[in-house]
Structure 1
Amino acid sequence: MTSYKVILVDDEQWNRDLIRTFGQWEQLGLQIVGEAEDGEAALKLVEETRADIVITDMRMPGMDGVQLMEQMHVRFPAVRMIVISGYDDFNYMKQAIRYRAVDYLLKPIDPKELNTILQKCAADLAAATQSRALPLELSRAIASARQLLHRHFNELNLAGIEHVLELLKADLGEALAQPAHLERVVTDLLLALKDMMNANSLPDDERAAAGSEVFSTAGKAVDFIKEQYRHALEQLIASRKYKNKLNLEDVRQYIERHFAENLSLEQLAKAFFVSKEYLSKVFKQEFGRNLTDYILGLRMEKAKVWLLDEQLSIKAVAEMIGYEDVTYFYRVFKKHYGVAPGEMRKNREV
């Protein structure tokens, strides 16, 4: 199984969040590489990222789903289209069939149906690109590497990044004898780096282009990736380390972007080059709450908003704010608001 690129297209953020949460991306060898709010932006993303799968809503401002499918059919016929709509409309279904969409799913999305069709897309793409397919074990190794690289990057841990890439080089071994295989690995990891830079408000400047020699051996490919990650990490460190004083607004924005992750005072202090004691003191002075309470409050606010949308299951809401244990989420939520998540949903005025 190789790693195929997916784009989500919907004008409503919560719908994209829902699909992102329900999809078994890593298990299926898939990676979300971009999101768009209308068809025109989606076309640009497909061209930029060379996406393999597009999951689109039908009703959107500007270029809607039907117009997008029409353009995709002409310009990118090999891309798999999955249509999702809240309207059980025969005309929409007819258009989906006309432009050979892989499937047409109705809201609220059934996670099993979504993953079944994603699995079908992945299988179709694998069959179509069999000569470039990566071994399953290697595909999993790359997915695992992306996760670890993301964590180490946010922790400013260059040694950790280099260690992960060295392990990946060992996994690549002789399995990637074809330059096309190495090119795919390099592209995937550079797209992951681009996402990390965007998440940390870093300019995505022009990086050195990979020449053909980069794809001649696993060692050269990994060395190239190392250099790109090292350069980006230096940018991130410089943007934080050499400021005259700690910018608490930067800390707050970082928490806003990563609240669903396992954030800790120690991790934040290290990332912003201050002591835990200092960060704890000035954060509470600025925002009136300690850091742990602030993160909890942010999670609960997000949960309350998403719970009011009945198309989201309580389990999905829990996962979207970082709680894998739904029972624990129930306890925390009830302690915070005085009512259980289900009661909050029933009584919108609470």
Structure 2
Amino acid sequence: MYSIFLVDDEELELEMMRDYIHWEEMGIYVAGTSTNGRDALEKIEVIQPDIVLTDVQMPMMNGIDLAQKIRERFDWIQLIFLTGHDEFNYVKSALNVGAVGYLLKPLDLSEIESVIEKVKLRCEEVQMKNRSIQMTKSNILKELIYEKDEERIAVLTSSFCKLARCPGSSHYALALFSIDHKDLMDKILEDCMTQLSSFLDRFFLGKKLEATFVTYKEGELGVFMDATQQPGHYAWEDMAQAMRDSLDFTVTVAIGGQAGKLSKVQALYEQTKHILNEYFYMGTGRVIYAEDVRGQFYSEQTPPFEKKEWFEAINQLDFEQTARLLHEYCAKLITLRINKKQICDWAIDLIGELLEQLHEPVPDSSKRAELYHSIYNSLTVQEIEAYILGAAAEAISLLSERFMDKNSKLAHRVRTIIDQTFHQPITINSLSDQVYLSPNYLRSIFKDKTGMTIHDYLTKIRLDKSKELLGDGSLKVQDIAQRVGYESTSYFISLFLKNQGVTPNEYRKNI
């Protein structure tokens, strides 16, 4: 449906045109009215209708002068003149300023319909031409992103400025719109891009802003606009809320902080892309501004995670403590802006260690690939945190089920005793005395429920602790042996070599 603006200094005639002509049946709606040329021009500059129907003879500014000023600013607006039988000389002037047609007073409905049909054809031609221009501008901007040759950049810039009717010195701002979950079927993603493009088209049209849309890759849409017309924060936030309300998918928006000339589009894109990538830390479905990124500290050193305390919380079936420790650590990762690969590698190793703690089978290649896919395809740190927490919740549930079994509970109790007293002399007899079972029966139950012998489990715990202590250069190997429960240093060294393939001192050098 096209919009029309009506201008006539006779208020009664203006009201009759507005209220008694069946515009909607002709595919037209009245966008506004005015009783003089000056007021009309001010309103038209804001409304920018498709069609202006104006009287010729008016005070202050006649219809011919109004048409000339409209043509200077908005050459795509279609003009129709309203004139009396004795004003035919004005009609000649009207046609000279590009009017599509004229209507004689008193108005005849069939004549109106005939002229409107002609005007609508012109409007369709304008739309087709604009679509062609927009597509060409979009292709130019896409090429400018990747073009390295300075001469080619100059040619592309000149072509764009001619199409956009702007000087080469104009500065542009860029906003990037990214559909959050791009792992959709091609057809669904294509439909989402169409919906997003239509939404943005309506948004910028409603704001009377000129913008060029560029699809750089699947699920990502760039919007270039005149830097002087860039919307403010409130407008962007309103737009984001409207997207959340009207679209079935979420979109993250990055607003570039610096405007640039067309010849510098590549730098503008890279800067805005960097802002967009911040969603990994800040979350998706929101607007991210340059100031959100400016001054951020990016660390390459991953902070230590209190794994022992975390695994203890899991073994004690304490979900709240498990979640709290994990959340606090992930908050550190976000603050330090640790890169995604490091965080993903840490998450995969942690889940692998969790399975080992549960004495679960090592994942086969397909399950391992599924784990990698789930972690590396996570959009945010929060999603990775949720995935790990889900694995921890399953572990707690599994442990809870095990504890319901008498023998599993017994094996867990023996592991707890060893975990807490490994630095003391421990024998199978001392353990059997504490759980009131014969040594042989205890051996059998423990091996059945854990897949390990008591001796192997004790050795594992002691050697794991010794590796932690070897990180302290002030401790001698003899001291470490005693701290983990071995009175004989030579036995400790031979056991360490057998299990680790290196001596304690060699291990220390490699830390």
TM-score, reference length from structure 2: 0.29
Q: Which has the larger radius of gyration?
A: 2
TM-score, reference length from structure 1: 0.40
